[in-house]
Structure formats: structure tokens, C-alpha cells
Structure 1
Amino acid sequence: MPEPSRIARLRITLDDTEPTIWRTVEVPLAASLKLLHEVIQAAMPFQNYHLFEFQEGAVRYVIPDPEWHDGNTRSAKSTKLGALVDRGTTAFAYTYDFGDNWQHTITVEEVGPAHPAIAYPRFLDGARRAPPEDVGGTMGFEEFLEAVTKPRHRERKGMLEWYGGPFDPDGLDRETIEAGVSKLARRRAIGQAAFVKGRGRP
């Protein structure tokens, strides 16, 4: 009997936000950190416009640049989430967009067997809407919120036009998030099926 697949329940917290912006997801330990990046993008959601890195201690996990080598840098494509969890890591960092510098803390809340009837990764819960892309980091987001939440603010109209519509900081667009994460789960299932078929297994 093969060992059952394992999943990690992760809490993703966007640092330096008050009230806190957070998400909880379940991700297979066999998933790459590149896939975890895509899960975070879908769960916030962000638009995946910018570079990212994970950091565990002194080690960074990125999409490697062949022209730049660093002994403390590893590939996010070839590193599995399980490689961090199985050596006892309970929390690590994720940064998205080095300009706006969105720093997140990823906390491993629980590890257990995957349920055979559930497609992973999956979104569980969260709170508050993530910042818009290119809003200008934490300070820019605070200024944006100040403008869009005060009806008489002189920059409100311009900010809403820039954003492309109303912005409810307390709103969690669960439907969009679940659709994005479910799309990743379907893609993963298709990839697994093709891998099994390629190895000639029933």
C-alpha cells in the first residue's frame, strides 16, 4: 500500500495590516513552492504580475535567474512544501512584489492525511480584501483606504477610477478566491493523471 498523501493547513498572514488580512488554505506536501505561490496569489487574490520569494532562515526560494547565482538561493519550482515541513519548519516568509514589498508570514497550523474525496489545494477561510496591485506598499494602501472609505475625501473619485470600481476593505470575495484555487486543483489533478498514465499505471 502506498503512503497516503499528506496535506498542510497553512495560515497566510499579510504582515503589517490592521485589522489583519489573512487566509487559510490546505496544500499537499507534494506541491512545489511555485504552486504554493500560485495558491497565495489566488487566495488573496493578487494578479501575479510581479516577482516573489519564500524565505526560511537564510535560504531563499525563487524562480532561478541563470545569470545570478547565490549559495543561499534554491529553486521554488523544484522544492516541495514537504521539504520544509518535514524538517520541522512551522513558519516561513513569503514576499510578493519587491517594489510594494508585500511580506507575508506562512504558518503551518496542522499536517495530516489528505481526504480522497477532496481536490487540493483548497481555500478554507479568510478575512478582509487584499490590497490592489501597485498601490504603493503598506503606506500607499493606507492612503488608498483613507480615500476610498471617506465619501467626502478629495481623492476618493480618482482612487476609485484608478482601482476600477468600489473597494470594500471588509469584503472577502470568496467566490473569486474559491474559483481561482479550484482551478489550480483541477490543473494539478490533470497533471497527476497524465503522470500516472505516462508510467503505464491503471
Structure 2
Amino acid sequence: MNEPTDPALFRVRVHLVDSNPEIWRLIEVNADLTLDRVHTALQVVMGWENAHLHDFEDLDPRARWKPGQPEPRRWGPALLSEDDESMLPDEDYTLRDVLTEDRPLFYEYDLGDRWLHCLALIEALPMAPADNTVTVIRGERRCPLEDSGGIDGYEELLESVADPGHDEHHEHAEWVARMTGGPVNLFDPARFDKNATNKELRRLFPRTKHA
């Protein structure tokens, strides 16, 4: 891990890989937040419910490692790292330790549906005592519904719900209503509430005080 350095905010663009239209967020996050806390932040930032396992990787899991490239690394919660010697405990590494401008970080949530997120470092900014630990600057579209079957399953779900003539429209509309706790006509996949998200981030991540 790196030696301690001046407090910094990382401006990071997060997008859900293969989402179309793209689901993305631009955030600012304390560079010294440990990865287990970054996981918590990403759950709020994206809108997930923290109901499944996760891991981090610094090599795109869809790509194959090639000789001459830096050795790939993986980080995860104790539940996974204790049973997998190749996985490092995410509580022991900070975002500063693993994310650079020339090498993005990949965050996978729900190892069944495999929601893959790419975190790209845009820039590092000086962090002042009054700065919040995590803030969403901008973003578009809500994240998919939990357990909707990955990107392909979610896209099929949206198509069937939007088409009353679809063979699975009624079944899927009922499922969406159960998952969201409200009428399906109020479900808007294009809506992202930045203010509500930042309010929840303030609750979970009080401001960091620096000496």
C-alpha cells in the first residue's frame, strides 16, 4: 500500500458496463476511503440494496491477462478473501492504493447477475476539512432492479413492461410492482434523484475532519 499523503478527493466516473442507455455517475470521494467503505458508497451512489456479494478487480474481468501487463489484483470482503488466497481483503486497501488514471478499477456486484461497474479516475483534487466524504456531482438513469438477471435480463424486462402486448407484460409488471412497492406505471428507469442520493451519503459518511 502507498505511504500516507495529503488528503485528496478523487473525482471518479462510474458506469454500469454494457448499459444502454448508459447508467453512470460522476462522484467525488475521499481517496483514503477503504474499499469496503467504497463498496457501501457505490451501493448508495448507484441505488443498489446491498443484498449480494461483491468484489473489486484492477483488470477488466472480461479481458484476458497478458504477459508483460501488471499482475491483476482482486479485493473482496472477508467472507470471500478467507476462502480465496488470490483475493485481498478490501478493508485493508484504500481507493488511493488501487485506482490510477491509467488503470481503472472494476467493481462487480451480485456474483450471479454480475453487475459490472467501471471506475475511472478523472482527477485528484485537494481535500479540505469541510468537504464531504462522498458526493454525487452528476448522473443519469436509475440502476436496474435487484435480481433482474443482469444487463440482458433487465433490458428484456423493460421491453416487456413497456409493451402491453408483450407475452410477459402482465407477469413482469406485477414483479416490478412487488420489487418497487408501487404501481408499475410509476417506475421510471430514466429517473435518478441526485439530491436524495447525496442526503443518504451524508447520513452514512459524515464529513472527514483533518488535522
Say whether the 8 Å CA contact 2:27–2:134 is kept in structure 1.
yes
Aligned to 1:98: 111
Q: Give distance in 2, aligned partners of 1:37 and 1:169.
A: 23
TM-score w.r.t. structure 2 length? 0.80
Distance verdict in 2 for CA 1:82–1:178, change over 3 Å: same
1:80 to 88, 94, 108: 94
TM-score w.r.t. length of structure 1:
0.83
Matched, 1:176 2:199: no
CA distance in 2, matches of 1:44, 1:185: 16
Distance of 2:194 and 2:132 partners within structure 1: 17
Unaligned runs of 5+ in 2: 60-71
In structure 1, runs of 5+ residues without a counterpart are none
| 1:34 matched residue in structure 2 | 36
**Cα RMSD after superposing both structures:** 2.3
Q: 2:57 aligns with which of 55, 58, 79?
A: 55
**Aligned partners of 1:176 and 1:159: how far apart in 2?**
27
Deviations 1:79-120 (A, max 9, x none): 1111124x6654111100011000111100110111333222
In structure 2, distance between residues paired with 1:148 and 1:88? 40
Map of 1:130 onto structure 2: 143
Residue in structure 1 matched with residue 11 of structure 2 by the alignment: 9
Equivalences for residues 101-116 of structure 1 within 5 A? 101-116=114-129
* Per-residue Cα deviation, 1:132-183 (whole angstroms, up to 9, x for no partner): 0000111210111102222443433432322223321211122332222222
How many pairs align? 188
| Equivalent in 163, 166, 170 of residue 150 of structure 1 | 163
Q: Percent identity?
A: 31
Q: Distance in 2 between matches of 1:183 and 1:3?
A: 27
- SS of alignment partner, residue 205 of structure 2: helix
Task: Work out which of the residue numbers 136, 152, 157 in structure 2 matches 1:139.
Answer: 152
Q: Which amino acid aligns with 1:31?
A: L
Mapped partners of 1:171, 1:181: distance in 2: 18
Q: Is the 8 A contact 2:47 2:143 kept in 1?
A: yes
